[in-house]
Amino acid sequence: MVKAIIKYFLKQLGYELISRKAPAQLYYELDWEFHDLYELAQEKCQMTKTDNTLRRQRHYTLNYLLKNAPLANGEVCELGCWRGLSAYQIAYHLRTAGAKNVFHIFDSFAGLSPFEAADIGQGGQDSTETRRKQFACPLETVADNLKEFSFIKYYKGWIPTRFSEVANHLFSLVHIDVDMYQPIADSFRFFYPRLVKEGIMIFDDYGCTQFPGAKKAVDECLREFHQPFFVPLPSGQAFLIKGLRD
């Protein structure tokens, strides 16, 4: 009991008590800066009840890539934000880094786009309408969840209808989380040419068998752009860094 109390108070001060007899741990598990931010974002976006290990690991990857993106050289964009969980963390990093640029968020705010043949995964055709509506969240709710960040600009509409509004912008990081074949392909083809050198593009659903169109779209676009430096991850995500092979 005493040990548990000591560990609790040390954690509040930013320290971790580890026994020499304790099993080995990963640095990910000990990264309290990340875990505190992730849990704050979950609270702000009303998503604490759906937390799970895989989702937490995916957001750890997002946070790590954010810290290494050339944020001073371009703006940041997210495509597909749902309730704003990843967007909150991105905006927090931008504010902490003192970034002056706008954070652009594109979403239909009405759920997923229509399923095509490439998007029919293990759930089958019968579940598509349920899954489409599962990811719907009104713009007003998202804006309220992220209200502390004044530098966010929202683009409501189906991808790619509003992309022309940022055609003259350059981007240091683009987070693509729209699940479906066509919007992922459209997003890749539009934003990759506008990605700065060493800019990062993250694909949230690349390895998700529930959304097979995600992998198909990314693989096709990788071939079109001569296979840039690309890393698929066990979490189901994947990312590329532009220019590392030039």
The model's pTM is 0.86
Class of domain 27-241: alpha beta
Nearest to 212 by CA among 181, 234, 176: 181
Which range in 23-32, 174-183, 236-245 is most confidently predicted, on average pLDDT?
Answer: 174-183
Radius of gyration over every alpha carbon of the chain, rounded to an integer in angstroms: 19
195-203 and 171-176: which strand pairing?
parallel
CA angle 206, 209, 213 (to 5 degrees): 60
Q: What is the 3-state secondary structure (H, E, C) of 152-197?
A: EEEEECCCCCCHHHHCCCCEEEEEECCCCHHHHHHHHHHHHHHEEE
Dump the DSSP string for 60-87.
HHHHHHHHHS-GGGSEEEEE--TTSHHH
What is the tens place of the pLDDT at every residue in 112-166?
A: 888 888 888 655 554 566 666 778 999 999 999 999 999 999 999 999 999 999 9
Within 10 angstroms of residue 176's Cβ, the number of other Cβ atoms is 28
Domain ranges for the chain: 27-241
What is the tens place of the pLDDT at every residue in 184-231?
A: 999 999 999 999 999 999 999 999 998 999 999 999 999 999 878 999
What is the tens place of the pLDDT at every residue in 6-22?
A: 555 556 555 665 554 55
